[in-house]
């Protein structure tokens, strides 16, 4: 006798969202000075500003990326998605 799964098991209850929280958070911590976490989230202008700040301050501005990476990783998945991917909050 073959058992079948109910149809509801095959479909997610809500549409999946492309959440870049972990990637952006880790890149912010590791490569924050290069603004790569900004580019991952689609913030080209902010990424370029981050690179320029890092060059002008001889690397001191990479602390901004480090802090942002930690902030990204401490937010819940939904809060991160709503704040940075839907709301397009560019800094902190």
Q: Is residue 91 part of a domain?
A: no
- Where in the sequence is the domain holding 45, given as residue range(s)? 19-86
Q: Which of 71, 75, 70, 85 is nearest to 17 (CA)?
A: 85
Residue 14 in any domain: the answer is no
> At 13, is the pLDDT very low, low, confident or very high (cuts 50, 70, 90)?
very low
Question: For 30-50, how does the pLDDT look when each residue is reduced to its tens digit (9 = 90+)?
Answer: 999 999 999 999 999 999 999
Q: How many domains, in total, are found in the chain? A: 1
Give domain status of residue 76, yes or no: yes
Alpha carbon distance 36, 44 (integer Å): 9
Q: What is the pTM of this model?
A: 0.76
Residue 3 inside a domain? The answer is no
Which of 63 and 11 is assigned the larger pLDDT?
Answer: 63
User: Is residue 23 included in any domain, yes or no?
Assistant: yes
The verdict on residue 53 lying in a domain is yes
Kindly report, residue by residue over 55-89, the tens digit of the pLDDT: 999 999 999 999 999 999 999 999 998 898 888 88
């Amino acid at each position: 006798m073959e058992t079948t799964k109910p149809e509801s098991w095959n479909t997610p209850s809500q549409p999946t969202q492309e959440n870049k929280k972990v990637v952006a958070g880790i890149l912010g911590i590791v490569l924050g000075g290069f603004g790569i976490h900004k580019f991952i989230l689609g913030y080209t202008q902010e990424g370029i500003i981050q690179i320029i700040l890092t060059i002008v301050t001889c690397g001191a501005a990479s602390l901004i990326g480090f802090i942002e990476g930690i902030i990204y990783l401490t937010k819940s998945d939904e809060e991160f998605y709503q704040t940075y991917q839907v709301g397009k909050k560019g800094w902190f």
